[in-house]
Amino acid sequence: MIKPKVGICTAILKGFNLNEEDSITYQKRLIEAIKKIGFDTVIAEEFVSTPEIAEKTAGFFNNKDVDLYILHIGTFVDDPRVMPLVSGVQKPFIIWAHDINAFNISITGAQNIIPNFYDLGLDYKFIYGNFEDQIALNDTYKYCRACAIKNKLRKVKIGYFGGHPNIMTSLTADEITIKKIFGIALINFGNEDILLGSQKIEKNESESTWKEIKSMVGKINTSEELGLMTSSTLAYILKMVKKNNLDAISINCFPHLKGRVCIPISRLNDMGIPSACEGDLDSTILMYILYQLSGRAISNGDQLKIFNLDMPDNSLMFSHCGAGALSLAAKKEEIIIHADYETGEGIAVYFRKNPWGGNNCKHAWNKR
């Protein structure tokens, strides 16, 4: 689960009888509040009281690569005093004001500088309240996590195997746009890389991988040959992940890899490497974000088809071709590894419970 790194600094105006000394205690309370909600903090070395200190603080936050920073308005403050900070750190920020002591006129200071940030089109959020205020902390929690995701996506590498299926034009990806919007780097491979590379995996490595997979499920209903084939595929993809420092995987399985990459995708998601099939790069990106937010394996449904939503039972039913993460099953005994029902030439994951009663149906019933 992602843990935001939050810079914290305090802006004050000295010499105007604004009780700026109060800000020492205020900043300590702010730091404690941010740590209490589970985030890392990076504390500026000085209170921002001059443009020179603001510029120095910007360099400090950049060097620490914070996901965002909180500009705590300790007292009334003018924009020239803080502008070198907000223009020097190309990250979102929070402006936090309060009314703890009326002599601080913190809220007025925030009102004085915010129009400049708005006109400049900067990414910021205004928080008003005491440091124990639950509404303020809840807003801070959500904004910080969103900023951390944004910062992390700039460094993400996704292995893009085989592009998109030729029957699914809507999955066409614009690599330049993805880089421009998210900062994500796509590392392109052909599906032949998987087909040829998996053949180079030593038999003992495939056997070891297959043995591990079998120990994690309730029932095996497939041949040893298919098990070793899919295990060698997983072993090869993991080598590619390590070699290229990949954070997530998108594989175009249609038609030549159907049934061959279902188990590998299932296991990759369990290992914390979000992976989607059918060349669905959009889902891969979304799965990566959801994994960072939840810290748990994510599974994409087949074109996001939800067949039944039972609110009283707190459950939903959806369709997938057989690549669900093993950890999503309620218990190990419910998981079956079975020949792929479409191709018969590969194997897939099936969760035992389904509304039609058979074990070979691809529709799984999973508790949310």
How much is the average pLDDT of 35-49? Answer: 97
Q: In what order do the strands lie in the sheet with 68-73?
A: 40-43, 5-11, 68-73, 93-97, 124-128
146 lies in the same domain as 45: yes
At 197 the pLDDT is 97
**Residues 350, 360: Cα–Cα separation, whole Å:** 7
pLDDT-derived band at 353 (thresholds 50, 70, 90) equals low
Assign 53 to helix, strand or coil: helix
330 lies in the same domain as 357: yes
CATH number of the domain to which 53 belongs: 3.40.50.10940
How much is the average pLDDT of 14-43? Answer: 97
222 lies in the same domain as 122: no
Residue 354 has pLDDT above 50, yes or no: no
pTM for this predicted structure: 0.88
117 lies in the same domain as 233: no
Q: What backbone phi and psi angles, to 5 degrees, belong to 43?
A: -100, 130
Q: How many domains does the chain have?
A: 2
User: Which tokens belong to 250?
Assistant: 């998108």
**Residues 305, 175: Cα–Cα separation, whole Å:** 26
User: Which tokens belong to 143?
Assistant: 């904004």
At 250 the pLDDT is 97
At 322 the pLDDT is 77
Domain end: 99, 124, 152, which one? 152
Measured CA angle at 137 (ends 295, 43), to 5 deg: 85
At 307 the pLDDT is 60
At 302 the pLDDT is 61
How much is the average pLDDT of 223-230? Answer: 95
**Residues 172, 160: Cα–Cα separation, whole Å:** 12
What are 143-171's pLDDT values in tens digits? 999 999 999 999 999 999 999 998 889 88
59-68, 130-139, 345-354: the lowest-pLDDT one: 345-354
How much is the average pLDDT of 63-82? Answer: 97
How much is the average pLDDT of 320-339? Answer: 87
What are 252-287's pLDDT values in tens digits? 998 889 889 999 999 999 999 999 999 999 999 999
43 lies in the same domain as 121: yes
301 lies in the same domain as 328: yes
233 lies in the same domain as 312: yes
At 130 the pLDDT is 96
Query: What sign has the CA pseudo-torsion 239, 232, 205, 291?
Result: positive
229 lies in the same domain as 329: yes
19 lies in the same domain as 111: yes
Q: What is the mean pLDDT of the chain?
A: 91
162 lies in the same domain as 60: no
Domain housing 140: 5-152
Domain end: 152, 175, 195, which one? 152
119-128, 176-185, 234-243, 341-350: the lowest-pLDDT one: 341-350
At 65 the pLDDT is 97
User: Which tokens belong to 3?
Assistant: 């843990």
How much is the average pLDDT of 306-326? Answer: 73
Q: Which residues contact 368 (CB under 8 A, 6 or more apart)?
A: 314, 315, 316
pLDDT-derived band at 206 (thresholds 50, 70, 90) equals very high
Q: What percent of the chain has pLDDT over 70?
A: 92
Domain end: 152, 171, 193, which one? 152
How much is the average pLDDT of 36-49? Answer: 97
142 lies in the same domain as 162: no
25 lies in the same domain as 173: no
Residue 366 has pLDDT above 50, yes or no: no
How much is the average pLDDT of 44-66? Answer: 98
Residue 106 has pLDDT above 80, yes or no: yes
How much is the average pLDDT of 311-318? Answer: 71
What are 164-186's pLDDT values in tens digits? 998 889 889 999 999 999 999 99
Quickly count helices (H) and strands (E) in the chain.
11, 15
Residue 356 has pLDDT above 50, yes or no: no
Q: What backbone phi and psi angles, to 5 degrees, belong to 219?
A: -150, 140
Higher local confidence (pLDDT), 295 or 318: 295
